[in-house]
Amino acid sequence: MEKDNAYLGVKEIARRANVSIATVDRVLHNRTGVSEKTKKKINDIIKELDYQPNILASRLASRKIISLAVLIPKVSEETDFWESPLRGVKRAGNEVKRYGVQLTTFFFDLNDKDSFQTQCKLILDADVNGVLMSPSFLEEAKQFSEACHKQKIPLVFIDSNVPDQHNLSYIGPHLFQSGYVGAKLLTYRLKGDRKVLVVNISAETDNYNYLQIEDGFRSYFKDQKQLNEIIRIDIRDTDYLSVARHLTQVFNQNEEIEAIFVTNSRVFSVAKFLTNSNRTDIALVGYDFLKENIDFLNSGVIDFLICHKPEEQGYRGIMALYQNLVIGGTVEKIHFMPIDIVTRENQAFYQN
């Protein structure tokens, strides 16, 4: 069937160009004997039809394996967010494996920078052809990106970007604009004289992701000339007891807090604290379509969840590497994902 489809494609190009199939074949394989005028005519038709030669046949004939590494955080007790990108990775992997593309997944601990560096070294020693990664630790990700560049290994970032790198592509949210949207959502219940709390629950508090989101969040208040005082706390220990301890302290010092914005998927920890403290009157916005978050969304403790289609990020990341390494096509340097807003009323219909 693949061979028949390829032949029909060449036949259609020949018909439209009013040339022989042999002439089209010469152009496809960059052989001599075709005038520049005819070559241009054929190439224009190829572009119009979005025709691709029989990649499967040529890949099988070469028997060359394309090895891709996937470097993402492992699912932890605090968050199962990374199950979604991994589903997308596996879905893409199943589609491209017949072209000789093999995936190997390397997991690191979001609370352990050393585990990230260890996995980076394993990948560089593994002689891979391309890498899809979440650059969760900024400086270490920059070092790894530079090493990949030196070895001519194409690199795709998902979920979080790293500025000024030689990566092939970034597939994820517009971080600044995502924070801007979060601020607008939060102000629906906010009075003019009340304080706003920004909570960053992460071992890596200088993560580019969170910093860009917070910049966008603060910019909304500045642009709208809303004078609410914005307080930020960083919680490096991500277990619930640590979160509860930090929040208790900040609430004891700031009784006027009326709204909370959490910069990542651990918003359920804050929602649990508010429930246990009988403070469910406080507006709460955070990220990601996780079971724990949905439960608090349905109970009304979380007002809004912002989602960036993480499964689609994983899928598109692998397909970008496939496009580059197998097809030899161009890849968008930046592909921004939608900024979806999920509420109690629409969550039952949302697909992550």
Three-state SS for 80-103 is CCCHHHHHHHHHHHHHHHHHCEEE
Q: Measured between alpha carbons, how far is residue 167 from residues 171, 206, 337 in Å?
A: 11, 21, 18
Domain 175-307 of CATH type 2.60.40.420: no
Q: Name the class of domain 2-53.
A: mainly alpha
Cβ neighbours of residue 271 closer than 8 Å, sequence gap 6 or more: 284, 286, 293, 296, 301, 302
> Within the chain, which residue ranges are assigned CATH 1.10.260.40?
2-53
User: What is the model's pLDDT at position 135?
Assistant: 94
User: What is the model's pLDDT at position 9?
Assistant: 67
Q: Residue 64: pLDDT band by 50, 70, 90 thresholds? A: confident
Q: Measured between alpha carbons, how far is residue 60 from residues 56, 65, 130, 145, 296 in Å?
A: 6, 10, 19, 31, 50
Centroid of chain to Cα 56? 28
| Percent of the chain residues topping a pLDDT of 90 | 69
Q: For residue 83, is pLDDT > 50?
A: yes
Question: pLDDT tens digits, residue range 98-127?
Answer: 888 999 999 999 889 999 999 999 999 999
Rounded Cα–Cα distance for residues 321 and 121 (Å): 20
Rounded Cα–Cα distance for residues 100 and 274 (Å): 51
Specify the amino acid at residue 136.
S
Q: For residue 57, is pLDDT > 60?
A: no
| Percent of the chain residues topping a pLDDT of 70 | 92
> Within the chain, which residue ranges are assigned CATH 3.40.50.2300?
65-173+310-337, 175-307
Q: Name the residue with tokens 């970007």.
A: 161
Rounded Cα–Cα distance for residues 25 and 183 (Å): 57
User: What is the model's pLDDT at position 22?
Assistant: 81
What is the CATH architecture assignment of 65-173+310-337?
Answer: 3-Layer(aba) Sandwich (3.40)
What is the side-by-side strand order in the sheet with 195-201?
A: 230-235, 195-201, 257-262, 283-287, 304-307, 340-342
Q: Residue 61: pLDDT band by 50, 70, 90 thresholds? A: low
Quick check: 342 and 178 in contact, CB under 8 A? no
* Helix boundaries (H) for the chain: 2-17, 21-28, 36-49, 55-62, 83-96, 113-125, 138-150, 175-186, 208-223, 240-253, 267-276, 291-298, 310-322
Q: What is the mean pLDDT of residues 242-255?
A: 95
Within a 13 Å sphere around the CA of 1, how many CA atoms are in the beta-carbon half? Answer: 0
Rounded Cα–Cα distance for residues 284 and 185 (Å): 9
Q: Measured between alpha carbons, how far is residue 311 from residues 58, 85, 172, 285, 315 in Å?
A: 30, 4, 11, 21, 6
